[in-house]
Amino acid sequence: MPECMFHNDAACWRELKEGNPDALGYLYDTYIDRLFSTAIKMTDNRELAKDALQEVFIEIWHYRNSIGDVNYSYSYLAKVLKSIILKKIKAKIVISALADSDQRADEEKNIEEALVLSDIAREQTSMLNNALSNLTSRQKQVVKLRFFEGLTYEQIAAKLSMNYQSVNNLAFRAMLNLRKQMNLS
């Protein structure tokens, strides 16, 4: 467990609401292992669990100003985690259903719809490339290896000769920056 830099969790949450990133780091360091165990119990998909954990802390940071008083940090974080995992699972189900219907609908699409979708994809790609260009070189490496080459965090750590936690931290910060730059937060 990390060295306590806050008198108690309530003080940590107050600091977080005031925009202190160290408070978020403290919560991450203090609860990440327990939350990962909880996530694995909810889904046997390790990558989904890791991605959901990253999103927990991104959401906590993003919505820090609207968070009420938190009396039980772990319970609060676990509730956010559960919500994110359920959304991700539902999204996978929807995507799977859409993929099935897309196969049938692809035959019926007209050229105009294809052009609109192409323009949207081009715009999103441009936004993503712009956002990626503003990341640090290490963050770019981690994002490229994780999302474009499909490597796991363990594989990335080995490839970059970094420890696993450093890779997770880089991925977290990169995703936070990308969401902010693409106005997804």
Indicate if 97 and 153 belong to the same structural domain. Answer: no
Domain with 49 in it: what CATH number? Answer: 1.10.1740.10
Specify the DSSP class assigned to residue 151: -
* Co-location of 30 and 70 in the same domain: yes
pTM above the 0.75 mark? no
68 phi, psi to nearest 5 deg: -75, -170
Digit-coded pLDDT (tens) for 36-49: 999 999 888 899 89
Q: What is the dihedral of CA 152, 154, 157, 161, to 10 degrees?
A: -130
Domain extent, residue 128, equals 109-185
Co-location of 45 and 83 in the same domain: yes
Specify the number of domains making up the chain: 2
9 and 59 inside one domain: yes
Two structure tokens written together for 132: 């990626």
pLDDT tens per residue, range 126-182: 887 887 888 888 888 888 888 788 888 899 999 999 998 988 888 888 888 888 887
Clarify whether residues 25 and 75 are in a common domain. Answer: yes
Task: For residues 96 and 128, state if they share a domain.
Answer: no
Q: Is the dihedral of CA 82, 88, 92, 93 positive or negative?
A: positive
Domain boundary among 105, 134, 165: 105
